[in-house]
Amino acid sequence: MTSAHSPSSAYRELRAIFTRLSRFGHLSAIAGWDMQTMMPPGGNKARSEALAELSVLQHQILTAENTGRLFERAQQETLDGFDQANLLEMRRQYDNAVLVPESLVEAKSLAGARCEHAWRSQRPANDWEGFSENLREVVKLTRQEAQIRAEAAGSSRYDALLNLYEPGMRSSDIDRIFGDLKTWLPDLLQKVVTRQAQEPCLIPEGPFKVDTQRQLGLSVMKLLGFNFDGGRVDVSAHPFCGGVPEDVRITTRYNEKEFHTALLGIIHETGHARYEQNLPRDWLGQPVAQARSTAIHESQSLLFEMQLARGGDFLKILRPLIIKQFGEQPALEESNFIRLNQRVKPGLIRVDADEVSYPAHVILRYEIEKALVEGAIEVEDIPALWNEKMRDYLGLDTVGNYRNGCMQDIHWTDGAFGYFPTYTLGAMYAAQLFHSVREALPSLSSDIAEGNLTPLFHWLKQNIWCHGSRFSTDELITKATGETLNPRYFRQHLENRYL
């Protein structure tokens, strides 16, 4: 028996510490979910303070002197497989946490909660002045954190934050990948828009009652294998997937004039949820059982939403579910329904974007947030820069339209700088993974068209879900597809589907 399993081992003590942290994290996740879905507005100050207190408590436990000493001892012990990977992930979390002072953890948590809560009413009111005041404080604290991390890592400020979401990835890698994307995507987008202009497309006529949309969403979640014993769906201002693997909370938002936004939001978040629900169950509560990275998480939601749900095979089984809820109408005729779901039309809103124009939204945000964190621009420069890039990348104008421009996302409100590029990295991983699934499962198309999604989900479970953070991102993708990230599959996918 290795020392890893003896009661006195340092590794065993570390496991107990991380189990405790996981339990506090569980409470924090559910309180955060409630804050965005159920909590009355008057509860915000008390809840923000409670969550900040919880953040500080977790930080104290993780960065305690004894924890550091345990790592020194645990590294001398003989561990293998998941245990070895778990110790590496523990160490990574410890190293990330120990750099940041407790006071900054608390200040960031409070500023983020204040900014996000105010954003909910400021965005509908198009109140950039009010929003920017709160955002300035979030940016100030984020820069402080980034500076501390950058000095320790010998990296740029932005790279230090990016590493929290995408370990091992640098902005120079993203600049190269996005630089290549910018050489061919605008032309592809133009070709697709021109081509589709020749193909008339009927729009479904509402109203579509919220209760009926909710029933449709539940039936699609069931089709996609969501485990309702370990999760639920609700409504929030911005769709998200939260909670914990044993109790996954997803949200969407409804509009009675159309049902597509809510439905695609549910499909996207169900992709996140299936990943969470299938992380290595025997290791839950330990860092190794957490999702590998944000881009890998996004690859699962985008594989569900873009690769699968916008594909003709899946649309053939989705259509009857929609007709069952809303009845027959000309726009739901099969060929029109497929055209409708594969419509490419540059728009202002990222979360509603088609998969061809979506990367432009991400590149725009990446370029702005990188400049903001590095101090090259200030908060007041965002609207003009946003409009300039919207015009350059999508041919759209956002002057004075803050609500559907630079105020539309939730990420910057709580200082999640470094997150945005992972959406397009995720789309690229999704295309690469789906290509590999097709090669591994020659009958995939016919299986999907018949409503048999089990082979696809089994492949994802075996190759991605069950590994948690056992491998680095490069190792995980290489084991699943035979190579590290290759953006060629993304381009190939878009050209095949749209041209």
Q: 325-378, pLDDT tens digit by residue?
A: 999 999 999 999 999 999 999 999 998 899 999 999 999 999 999 999 999 999
Evaluate if residue 2 carries a pLDDT over 50.
Answer: no
What's residue 164's pLDDT? 97
pLDDT of residue 237: 86
The pLDDT, as a whole number, for residue 284 is 97
Residue of 116, 119, 141 whose CA lies nearest to 402? 119
Query: Torsion-angle region of residue 243: left (phi > 0), alpha (psi -120 to 50) or beta?
Result: left
Tokens 């590029």 belong to: 421
Q: Does pLDDT of 4 surpass 80?
A: no
Name 258's bridge partners: 255
Name the band, by pLDDT with cuts 50, 70 and 90, for residue 384.
Answer: very high
Among candidates 288, 238, 324, which has minimal Cα distance to 89?
288
- The residue-averaged pLDDT of 283-306 equals 97
User: Looking at the chain, how many residues does it have?
Assistant: 499
Answer yes or no: is 272 a known binding residue.
yes
Model pTM score: 0.95
The per-residue pLDDT for 271 is: 98
Report the distance separating Cα 372 and Cα 139, nearest Å.
Answer: 8
Residue 66 has which token pair? Answer: 């004894």
Task: Look at residue 3 in the predicted model and tell me its pLDDT.
Answer: 41
Closest to 355 (Cα-Cα) out of 167, 179, 173, 181 = 181
Q: What is the mean pLDDT of the chain?
A: 96
Peptide bond into 207 cis (omega under 30): yes
Q: Which residues are catalytic?
A: 269
Please list, residue by residue across 440-451, b when 16 or more beta carbons sit within 10 angstroms of its beta carbon and e when fewer do.
eeeebeebbeee
Q: Given pLDDT bands bounded at 50, 70 and 90, which one contains residue 138?
A: very high
Residue linked to tokens 């002072």: 101
- What was the pLDDT predicted at 132? 98
Sheet holding 247-252, edge to edge: 231-235, 247-252, 241-244
Residue 291 has pLDDT above 50, yes or no: yes
List all residues 6 or more positions away from 148 whose beta carbon is below 8 Å from its beta carbon: 99, 100, 104
Q: What are phi and psi of 247, to 5 degrees?
A: -155, 75
Average pLDDT over residues 403-419: 96
User: Residue written as tokens 């294998």?
Assistant: 225
Does the structure show a pLDDT above 80 at 1? Answer: no
DSSP 195-206: HHHTS--PPPP-
Does 317 have pLDDT greater than 60? yes
Domains observed in the chain: 110-208+254-498 (1.10.1370.30)
Report whether 343 contacts 189 (CB < 8 A). no
The predicted structure's pLDDT at residue 93: 97
Neighbour-count burial of 66, counting CB atoms closer than 10 A to its CB (0-12 exposed, 13-18 middle, 19+ buried): exposed
Question: Distance (Å, rounded) from C-alpha 23 to C-alpha 29?
Answer: 10
Q: With 70 as the cut, is the pLDDT of residue 300 above it?
A: yes
Nearest to 64 by CA among 119, 14, 121: 14
- Close Cβ partners of 220 (under 8 Å, ≥ 6 residues apart): 263, 266, 267, 270, 318, 321
Q: Are 113 and 44 in contact (CB under 8 A)?
A: yes
Provide the pLDDT for residue 407.
97
Note whether 463 and 278 are within 8 A (CB): no
Looking at 307-453, list the stretches that DSSP marks H as alpha helix, in order from N- to C-terminal side: 312-326, 334-341, 358-374, 382-394, 421-440, 444-449
Band of pLDDT at residue 7, cut at 50, 70 and 90? very low
For residue 6, pLDDT beyond 70:
no
Predicted confidence (pLDDT) at residue 5 exceeds the cutoff of 70: no
CA 162 – CA 34 distance, rounded (Å): 28
Return d(Cα 299, Cα 425) in angstroms, integer. Answer: 8
The pLDDT value given to residue 8: 58
| The one-letter amino acid at 166 | E
With 0-12 CB in 10 A as exposed, 13-18 as middle and 19+ as buried, what is 128?
buried
DSSP state of 76: T
Residue 344 CB neighbours (<10 A): 20
Structural contact between residues 110 and 52, judged by C-beta atoms closer than 8 angstroms = yes
Q: Which residue has the tokens 């101090």?
A: 375
Percent of the chain residues past pLDDT 90, beyond the cut: 97
CA dist., res. 59 & res. 97, Å (int) = 7
Give me the mean pLDDT over the 161-174 stretch: 97
The response to whether 298 counts as a known ligand-binding position is yes
Do 157 and 165 meet the contact criterion of CB atoms below 8 Å apart? no
